[in-house]
A and B are shown apart, each in its own frame.
Chain A
């Protein structure tokens, strides 16, 4: 060793355990059991492992915690397979309501052996021990069912809970969830997440999506520092965003190492792990190994963290993620980032390239997707969604005009939906969503008693796009880059009205306000997004 001045700070693991923290207690208890086993003080008790396991299950520990506990009991002699098998057998027996020679007899044995230490720790785990006379050998975890059921949440009480699904990035990143974001290598997952990270850390509206200001930890196992610096410069500054880089004095712990609990020392926030593959040394196709990692992530989630895992696609298939299905099973929300293919003449990393970011395969929340456009200036993405949505609004708008002209009265919702399904080939839900989203912006609706209380739609003749009215666009991007081409409006393409990024109109009166300086850019956007549409002369 060096001089004292070079010594490291004592790690928190050597601080006194907290008797109110079950995670601490289980470690102390496990070490003590291991110690007494080695000293032969628990000899003659054949089922000690099963009993200890039953006790831990009773105390509410999960598989991962129990396996870690057994690792501490056996230290060098620990065997993962045996432990896991025993865990699964114990759970199966509990699920089948079988009697387990378990926790009760374990406690009795402790008392017989005079191991007061262990007894104290067992009590700290809040195990409701039964008297030795009551239960020498037939303790079953099931006998605790009465107090347990009282602790369960009643279905009807759920209605009164003051909890709602919240998103730290509207529609895309649910608060307190595990999100898997997959995409082929090099598609831009890192850039995208850095943009998210900055927006969420700043609490700024991003691409028109609301955020909840949250500390963000970018756990970077992959990128060289120089790349990080370049991206940070392009994306812009923010407080509240921390990068835990592999070059750090204390590098980010691997998820399959004992150090993973270091993540718990961070204040609650958003953890972005770049990438899942680089964050462990396990076999990503091995369900047991991946289950261990995902269980640890769930533990972090239960503490309040939101976790985004960046992940790759398998070779030759960009439609799914790589590795064991356990990843899918244990993630809450899966997002895919994929390029919208546009023929052989596409140029890599061009501003002409469009992408889709959205829910894929599974979500416990709501499906959501947006279209993105590559922005070479920031080596990241801008939103292209509004253009698509504007197009849908335009179609609905025109459809309402048609209906009104045909029927010579204001159309009702069912008429609009029926016509839109037939002519626009849109789904019922989407049409309803569009009608709701355009309410107050492009049209107003009122219930009319004389028409069976149906919603009647009346167009707003001075339609203004929500982006133009709701938010400051410079804020919306949460970058320092000025946004081009942002005023939204209605213009008239051949055969109808088109809501676009650059022009304003005054409805059917067709008094169109045109910013000609932006025409070229508008045409580019419409052409590249809707290649099948004939290129129109909009003016």
Chain B
């Protein structure tokens, strides 16, 4: 199932993520216990531990629904073999878009509040890192499959670029 399709309900969205190999974890979100001040940065931090272990199964559909009802968010661990480039500034986004256009590449583009995630396959061994200066000159944050997670649409107004 396409992850950026427009499913009719949350169940379908969750299914599409699971079908594509994402594993769900609990993030604090605006859960009154974990984030009483509704701090945005704090909302993105995980509650679940040990999600980088190979045998981590991820939350089930019911667990996800139950967690979201408390105001918590769900983070999605990126499948191994993929990378998300987390980019915030407009110029870097323009450079990536231009480069992808010239190379005729269509990564998955996830629109966040402050920027974008570009998801590619990754066959090289890279480490997760923030503020990475790349060969093309732009500054990005690496989110590596199996190690990092993303807060995905439709949480907090996020969406996929079709």
Contacts of A81 in B (CB 8 A): none
Contacts of B126 in A (CB 8 A): 15-16
Give the distance in Å from the alpha carbon of A17 to the alpha carbon of B126 in the complex.
Answer: 12
Q: Is A276 an interface residue (CB 8 A)?
A: no
Give the distance in Å from the alpha carbon of A30 to the alpha carbon of B95 in the complex.
Answer: 13
- Report which of A12, A16, A75, A250 forms a contact with B133, defined as CB distance below 8 A: A16
Given contacts A7-B82, A7-B108, A9-B121, contact A31 B94 (CB under 8 A): no
Q: Is A10 an interface residue (CB 8 A)?
A: yes
Least CB separation from A258: chain B residue: B102
Least CB separation from B94: chain A residue: A75
Q: Is A147 an interface residue (CB 8 A)?
A: no
Interface residues of B in 111-153 (CB under 8 A from A): 119-124, 126, 129, 132-140
Contacts of A4 in B (CB 8 A): 3, 20-21, 79, 82, 108, 119, 121
Contacts of B119 in A (CB 8 A): 1, 4, 7
- Report which of A5, A10, A27, A38 forms a contact with B122, defined as CB distance below 8 A: A10
Q: Verify B134–A17 contact, CB threshold 8 A.
A: yes
Q: Is B60 an interface residue (CB 8 A)?
A: no
Q: Verify A16–B82 contact, CB threshold 8 A.
A: no
Q: Is A257 an interface residue (CB 8 A)?
A: yes
Contacts of A24 in B (CB 8 A): 135
- The smallest beta-carbon distance between B124 and chain A, in angstroms, is 7
- The smallest beta-carbon distance between B15 and chain A, in angstroms, is 12
Q: Verify B135–A1 contact, CB threshold 8 A.
A: no
- The smallest beta-carbon distance between B152 and chain A, in angstroms, is 12
Contacts of A34 in B (CB 8 A): 91
Q: Is the interface of A mostly helix, strand, loop or mixed?
A: helix
Least CB separation from A2: chain B residue: B2
B 69-99 binary contact with A (CB < 8 Å = 1; else 0): 0000000000100110100010110111011
A 24-50 binary contact with B (CB < 8 Å = 1; else 0): 100111111011001000000000000
- Report which of A14, A35, A259 forms a contact with B134, defined as CB distance below 8 A: A14
- The smallest beta-carbon distance between B108 and chain A, in angstroms, is 4
Contacts of B35 in A (CB 8 A): none
Contacts of A96 in B (CB 8 A): none
Most buried by B among A7, A15, A27: A7
Q: Is B34 an interface residue (CB 8 A)?
A: no
Q: Verify A12–B19 contact, CB threshold 8 A.
A: no
Give the distance in Å from the alpha carbon of A11 to the alpha carbon of B83 in the complex.
Answer: 11
Q: Verify A13–B124 contact, CB threshold 8 A.
A: no
Given contacts A4-B119, A8-B120, contact A14 B85 (CB under 8 A): yes
Least CB separation from A21: chain B residue: B135
Most buried by B among A1, A3, A34, A250: A1
Q: Verify A10–B94 contact, CB threshold 8 A.
A: no
Contacts of B140 in A (CB 8 A): 14
Q: Is B31 an interface residue (CB 8 A)?
A: no
Interface residue count for A (Cβ, 8 Å)?
Answer: 35
Least CB separation from B129: chain A residue: A16
Most buried by B among A6, A10, A12, A76: A10
- Report which of B20, B99, B160 forms a contact with A11, defined as CB distance below 8 A: B99
Q: Is B105 an interface residue (CB 8 A)?
A: yes
Q: Verify B106–A1 contact, CB threshold 8 A.
A: yes
Least CB separation from A75: chain B residue: B91
Q: Is A72 an interface residue (CB 8 A)?
A: yes
Given contacts A10-B122, A258-B102, contact A3 B1 (CB under 8 A): yes
Given contacts A4-B21, A7-B119, contact A15 B2 (CB under 8 A): no
Q: Is A18 an interface residue (CB 8 A)?
A: yes
Interface residues of A in 463-502 (CB under 8 A from B): none
Q: Verify A8–B105 contact, CB threshold 8 A.
A: yes
Given contacts A1-B4, A1-B108, A15-B135, contact A35 B89 (CB under 8 A): yes
Least CB separation from A120: chain B residue: B133
- Report which of A3, A27, A72 forms a contact with B2, defined as CB distance below 8 A: A3
- Report which of A31, A38, A76 forms a contact with B138, defined as CB distance below 8 A: A31
Q: Verify B103–A250 contact, CB threshold 8 A.
A: yes
- The smallest beta-carbon distance between B87 and chain A, in angstroms, is 10
Contacts of A3 in B (CB 8 A): 1-3, 19-20
Contacts of B4 in A (CB 8 A): 1
Q: Is B154 an interface residue (CB 8 A)?
A: no
Most buried by A among B79, B124, B129, B137: B137
Q: Verify A17–B135 contact, CB threshold 8 A.
A: yes
Q: Verify B107–A7 contact, CB threshold 8 A.
A: yes
Contacts of A2 in B (CB 8 A): 2, 106
Contacts of A30 in B (CB 8 A): 137
Q: Verify A1–B2 contact, CB threshold 8 A.
A: yes
Least CB separation from A23: chain B residue: B135
Given contacts A1-B160, A7-B108, contact A13 B1 (CB under 8 A): no
Contacts of B132 in A (CB 8 A): 16
- The smallest beta-carbon distance between A33 and chain B, in angstroms, is 10
Give the distance in Å from the alpha carbon of A78 to the alpha carbon of B43 in the complex.
Answer: 40
Least CB separation from B123: chain A residue: A9
Least CB separation from B21: chain A residue: A4
Q: Is B47 an interface residue (CB 8 A)?
A: no
Q: Verify B94–A76 contact, CB threshold 8 A.
A: yes
Contacts of B99 in A (CB 8 A): 11, 13, 258
Contacts of A9 in B (CB 8 A): 120-123
Give the distance in Å from the alpha carbon of A257 to the alpha carbon of B105 in the complex.
Answer: 16
- The smallest beta-carbon distance between B155 and chain A, in angstroms, is 18
Contacts of B79 in A (CB 8 A): 4
Contacts of A257 in B (CB 8 A): 102
Least CB separation from A19: chain B residue: B133
Pick 29 A–B contacts, CB within 8 A, sort by A. A1-B109, A1-B119, A2-B106, A4-B20, A4-B119, A7-B119, A7-B120, A9-B121, A10-B83, A10-B107, A10-B122, A11-B120, A13-B136, A14-B85, A14-B140, A16-B134, A16-B135, A17-B134, A17-B137, A27-B137, A28-B134, A28-B137, A31-B137, A32-B139, A34-B91, A35-B89, A250-B103, A250-B104, A258-B99
Interface residues of B (CB under 8 A from A): 1-4, 19-21, 79, 82-83, 85, 89, 91-92, 94-96, 98-99, 102-109, 119-124, 126, 129, 132-140, 160-162
Interface residues of A (CB under 8 A from B): 1-18, 24, 27-32, 34-35, 38, 72, 75-76, 250, 257-259
